[in-house]
Each structure stands twice: as C-alpha cells, then as structure tokens.
C-alpha cells in the first residue's frame, strides 16, 4: 500500500470521478459530503476516524464516486490501486454463488436483496426480495438482521458484488448471485422465480427498504465510496 499525508481541508475523493484507489484512513479525521443536485449545498453523510476504509464501491461497481471525502485534520491515508484491491481484498472476501445453489439456500431460509434502483426492481425484481439500492445500503446496514443469510443480486453482478463486500465487511453472511439475473443461465429462471411463493421477509414489505429488524446486533460503521 502507498502512504499519503493530507492536510486539513484536502480532498481525498471527489464526487463524480471514477475510482482508482481503495483507501484506509490510518491517522486523522475526515468527513463525507454528497451533493444531490448541482447548485445545492452538500450534505454531511458521515464522519470518519482512524481505522476506517473507504472507496471500494466505485471500484467494484465501475461507478463514479458518489460523495466527497475531505480531511478535517491533518492525517495519513493508505491507498491500494484497483488491480491490487481486487486481487488481495475483494475476491478473497466475496462468496459467489450460482443460481441453482442460491435457490436451495432461499428454500432453506436465506433472503434475497435486490440492490438495483427501485424502477429496475419494480420491472423484474424477484419475489420475496428486499429492494435496497446500493447507494442506500450503508445507511440501512445498521438495522439489518445479521442472523440471516443473504443472497445479493443485480443485473450483471457488479453492484451486487460491491454490496456483498460492504455487508461482509460489516459482519453479514452475504453471497453474490454470480453474473446477476440477466446473464445466460439465470435469465430464463427469473419469471419462474417471480411466480414462487415468497419467503417471509425479515424486513417486512419486499418493496419497503425502511422496515428492518427491530433489535439488530451492533451497528456497522458507515463508510463512503
């Protein structure tokens, strides 16, 4: 990893830029801001202290950074390039699963999590799945029941890989549906799955991301992307 020293006010990550590095804050404090629309003031999302990592979402999902991260104090950040992050951190962490095995786990009590946008979920979301878009997952993780096994999916496996990494880092038992639901071998099964009787949803309504376990275990620390 490469160590970089930052001064107070320095920006580590800029919203809208493509991700190149995974970061670990080894010294100092930082803040995470997100600007919802051009011309509007940025909103404070989180405050970070030493020992927190961030930046993985943009790398895994190949999406632009969705927030700014700036230093509140002087500090030091360790960073890892995308290729090394994928080889050394991401892949050893992810637990990928094929459709057939995912169906067996669902029958045994595992629950599906659709991390796509609501309009995508409404179009072809699987029966019994909870829709928590990737961008909302960090804020929702503190209320998710950690006692349940989860199968995370999206269209092509990218957003779900980022989501499963976040969940695994937070202590959840989460698996990624390999290739997503629109790849050959799984797309033909989607309609059949939607007609199945949904399993009991630990969050309440399958379309309501605001209903969660009432007494979850210790919360996960929010991190920026």
Instruction: Look up residue 25 and give its two tokens.
Output: 């804050």
Give yes or no: residues 104 and 189 share one domain. yes
Q: Give residue 130's domain range.
A: 94-194
Domain tally, the chain? 2
Report the CATH number at residue 119.
Answer: 3.40.250.10
Give yes or no: residues 100 and 79 share one domain. no
pLDDT in tens, 196-211: 434 333 443 333 433 3
Specify the pLDDT at position 142.
Answer: 82
Report the CATH number at residue 28.
Answer: 2.60.120.10
Of 28, 60, 90, at which residue does a domain stop?
90
> Binning pLDDT at 50, 70 and 90, where does residue 62 land?
confident
Specify the pLDDT at position 196.
Answer: 42
Q: What is the mean pLDDT of residues 26-34?
A: 94
Give yes or no: residues 111 and 59 share one domain. no
Q: What is the mean pLDDT of residues 105-124?
A: 92
Give yes or no: residues 76 and 9 share one domain. yes
Give yes or no: residues 126 and 153 share one domain. yes
Which one-letter DSSP state was computed for residue 64? B
- Residue 57 falls inside a structural domain: yes
Residue 207 contacts residue 39 (beta carbons within 8 Å): no
């Amino acid at each position: 990893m490469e160590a970089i020293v930052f001064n107070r006010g320095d920006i580590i990550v800029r919203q809208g830029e493509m991700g190149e590095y995974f970061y670990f804050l080894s010294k100092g404090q930082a803040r995470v801001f997100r600007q919802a629309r051009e011309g509007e003031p940025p909103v404070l999302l989180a405050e970070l202290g030493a020992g927190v990592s961030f930046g993985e979402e943009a790398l895994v999902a190949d999406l632009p950074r969705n927030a700014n991260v700036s230093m509140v104090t002087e500090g030091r950040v360790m960073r890892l390039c995308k290729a090394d992050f994928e080889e050394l951190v991401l892949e050893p962490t992810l637990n990928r699963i094929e459709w057939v095995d995912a169906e067996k786990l669902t029958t045994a009590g595992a629950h599906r999590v659709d991390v796509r946008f609501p309009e995508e979920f409404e179009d072809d979301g699987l029966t019994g799945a909870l829709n928590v878009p990737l961008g909302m997952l960090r804020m929702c993780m503190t209320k998710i029941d950690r006692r349940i096994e989860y199968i995370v999916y999206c269209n092509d496996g990218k957003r779900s890989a980022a989501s499963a990494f976040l969940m695994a880092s937070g202590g959840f038992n989460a698996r990624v549906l390999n290739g997503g639901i629109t790849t050959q071998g799984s797309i033909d099964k989607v309609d059949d799955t939607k007609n199945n009787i949904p399993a009991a949803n630990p969050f309440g309504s399958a379309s309501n991301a605001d209903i969660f376990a009432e007494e979850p275990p210790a919360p996960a620390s929010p991190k920026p992307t």
